[in-house]
Amino acid sequence: MPETITPAVPPTPPVTLSALLAREDLALRQIAGPTDQGTVIHWAHTSEMADPYPYLLGGELLLTAGVHIPEAADSEGGAPGQAKSRLGEYFDGYVSRIVAAGGAALGFGLAPVHDTVPPALVAACEHHGLPLLEVPPQTTFSGVARAVWQLMAQARLAELRRVTEAQQSLASAAARPDPVPSVLRQLAQRLAGRAVLHGPDGTEIASAGREAGPGVREALTDLAGVVRPTGAGTPTSATDTLGDTHLAAYALGSGEGFVLGVATARREPGDHTIASVASVLLSLLTGEHHSGAGAARSSAFVRLLLGARPEEVAPLLGEGSWVVVHARPEAQLPDAVAASALGAALGSPLVDLARDVVRVLVPGGRVPEPQPGWALGVSAAVEPRAWPAADTQAARALARARATRTPLIRHGARPGLADLVPRADAETHARALLAPLTGRPELTETLRNWLALHGSWDRTAVAMDVHRNTVRQRIARCAALLHTDLDDPDVRMELWFALRHG
């Protein structure tokens, strides 16, 4: 017999068997096997195979109507004792294979083949410790499967709500005057455990939550050593158990060797996500605390507000050129946690969160790469005095990235025909040509995006977050005010030249 496998369960919240049994519309009844409240199922699968082992992934509620029971084992021929023995042997092998495959429970339908659950099957499930459910005639297997997916959807919604609330509370904690202890306290509360911040030398710098049991503190310190950066190939996170306590360690991205350790009595869906959010926030906080970059950044911002030029304060933020990144999530509006995580991924704490766009000022030596779930627009590398122009470049690159569904678009800054015309003459010509659109920025930007996207109404609408009919109306208005034919490629070229220099 093969060894029992570990179920290759899907990344969805499991359903407790007790929750399924509580569904009155199904009228399921457990008649054998352990009644452990912690028994969970990950999906429902129907099979009439005599040996279901090759077809199971693990974690299933296997549903059967008993069609597979061999006639020889279920017949009335032969001595009663022999028939009963054959039936017992058959079900013993059948149930043992389900258990070996990692099956979570077995559901036996009372219709249309059998009126009752075979006693030998009940005995086999009791012997092998497999929960056995009686499925009444009025309950279809598809109804059971649908109920499983409904319960999964409810569990998933509850998990997302829990993670979202935790993200918000952790972000608020990070904004407090004592951010590191506040984040640890909030994390320990959300995970109902203990959170510890280990320093580069392995000592505990701060902690929060309930006291750990014997040996947990030492085990958590050892686990932190596993993820502390020592060179290429070092894992960024690790997990372990000590008795009934679950341990996890996360290397903080500050690069200074700080590690977040977590000890909990149980591991719930969403715990890893919540701890990862906390590690991102702590990465930013510990990086500032260790290097003093936070104070330098604050000083730079204050000087800018008081009228200093960007090139004068840039040395406080670091030497060299800079790129501006505009980013927007694909599925929803950004929040503070997502913005901080993006800044950490791009290697910069200089993050600005607007209503629908995150702006990040990144040192020119770090090349921004595409980020999963984000659309990014990246400016050319510029000196501090050109930051405003780079901001515009990044905004336009982001609009093009979203319109073309491209993860990242960089601003192109190569010489062209425009460089043959003196800049002052180009600007004078542009102002004269675009004068009818003066004071109408929505028309100017719509025309700019429409030309950049080759006259596509739909892509321009996506780039500007407006309806495609609004784009059509604005372009028609531009054509009327400019007294020109926008279908003429020569006209489009001249207008594009003017918009670049206007």
| Segment 350-365, tens digit of pLDDT | 888 877 898 988 887 7
pLDDT at 482: 92
431 with 406, same domain? no
CA 241 vs. chain centroid, Å, equals 25
pLDDT for residue 316 is more than 80: no
By CB neighbour count within 10 A (0-12 exposed, 13-18 middle, 19+ buried), where does 424 fall? exposed
pLDDT at 419: 52
Tell me the percentage of the chain whose pLDDT exceeds 70: 86
Task: Please work out, in degrees rounded to the nearest 5, the angle formed at the alpha carbon of residue 362 by the alpha carbons of 463 and 329.
Answer: 35
pLDDT at 109: 95
365 with 470, same domain? no
Assigned token pair, 189: 């509360």
pLDDT band for position 502 (cuts 50, 70, 90): low
| 306 domain residue, yes or no | no
The pTM (predicted TM-score) of the whole model is 0.48
Q: Which residue has the higher pLDDT, 315 or 140?
A: 140
Tell me the percentage of the chain whose pLDDT exceeds 90: 34
Question: For the chain, how many structural domains are there in total?
Answer: 4
Nearest CA-CA partner of 106 in 27, 22, 33: 33
Task: Map residue 91 onto helix, strand or coil.
Answer: helix
Nearest CA-CA partner of 337 in 112, 169, 130: 169
State how far the alpha carbon of 210 is from the alpha carbons of 172, 176, 234, in Å: 22, 22, 30
Condensed to tens digits (0 to 9), the pLDDT of residues 73-120 reads 444 444 556 666 788 899 999 999 999 999 999 999 998 889 999 999
State the CATH number of the domain containing residue 283: 3.30.450.30
Whether residue 275 contacts residue 260, with contact meaning beta carbons closer than 8 Å, is answered with yes
pLDDT at 293: 57
State the CATH number of the domain containing residue 109: 3.40.1390.20
Rounded to the nearest integer, the mean pLDDT of the chain is: 83
Assigned token pair, 366: 């770090």
19 with 118, same domain? yes
pLDDT for residue 388 is more than 50: yes
pLDDT at 160: 83
Whole-number Å distance between alpha carbons of 452 and 497: 11
Nearest CA-CA partner of 407 in 460, 469, 298, 330: 330
Q: What is the DSSP string of 252-312?
A: -TTSS--EEEEEESS--TTHHHHHHHHHHHHHHHHHHHHH-HHHHHHHHHHHHHTT--HHH
pLDDT at 469: 93
440 with 488, same domain? yes
pLDDT band for position 420 (cuts 50, 70, 90): low
Nearest CA-CA partner of 394 in 417, 371, 375, 366: 375
pLDDT at 496: 87
Which domain covers residue 57, as residue numbers? 15-150
